[in-house]
Amino acid sequence: MAELSHVYNRDILIGSIAATIATAITALSRFALFFGGDEDANPIAQIAMILLAPIAAILIQFAVTRSRETQADTSGADLSGKPLALASALRKLEAGGKELARRGVGGTPAEQPNNAFSSLYISAPFGGAVRGGLGNAFRTHPKTEDRVRNLEQLARRMGQMA
């Protein structure tokens, strides 16, 4: 249900807009470096701008994505009327990702999955290798425990949990 909620909530449109803005910020920082006028400008500041602007744009895009995931969880739980079932499914997906990380793709740890595909997963894949601090800013999905906590609070409000 949560995945259907992405369609209902127009998350693809919102994500596309966020990606477009991130791309525009990156392009503007590049243009500023190459065509940005003042010869007396500090070259270190210019290099910092070209490096930091795209990182800031990506962080904003990921923050939007995480908030849309939370909204999709809530909408999906409202639609199904079973937030605890969704929480259970998320726990199982998390456990499966940890098992995949432990044993590897082909059964051997040497065949580890490619993290470039992590945004295609419902839960943090491959054991959720990103942990704590600034690393959480680069997550495409909220932490599973946060998603489960949100769904349990919804279940309490629905009277399904004491």
CB atoms within 10 A of CB 16: 11
pLDDT given at position 149: 93
1-38 tens-digit pLDDT: 667 777 777 888 888 888 888 888 888 877 776 776 56
State how far the Cα of 154 lies from the Cα of 158, in Å rounded to an integer.
Answer: 6
| Percent of residues, the chain, with pLDDT higher than 90 | 10
| Phi and psi based region of residue 160 (left: phi greater than 0; alpha: psi -120 to 50; beta: remaining) | alpha
pLDDT of res. 1: 67
Provide the pLDDT confidence category of residue 150 given band limits of 50, 70 and 90: very high
Specify the DSSP class assigned to residue 104. -
Domain boundaries, the chain: 1-80, 82-162
Contact 86, 2 (CB under 8 A): yes
Q: Which residue has the higher pLDDT, 84 or 135?
A: 84
What residues act catalytically?
A: 3
Lowest mean pLDDT among 60-74, 93-107, 148-162: 93-107
What's the CA gap between 94 and 85, in Å, rounded? 14
Confidence bin at 87 (pLDDT 50/70/90) = very high
Dig out the tokens for 50 from the structure: 């070209």
Determine the pLDDT at residue 18.
83
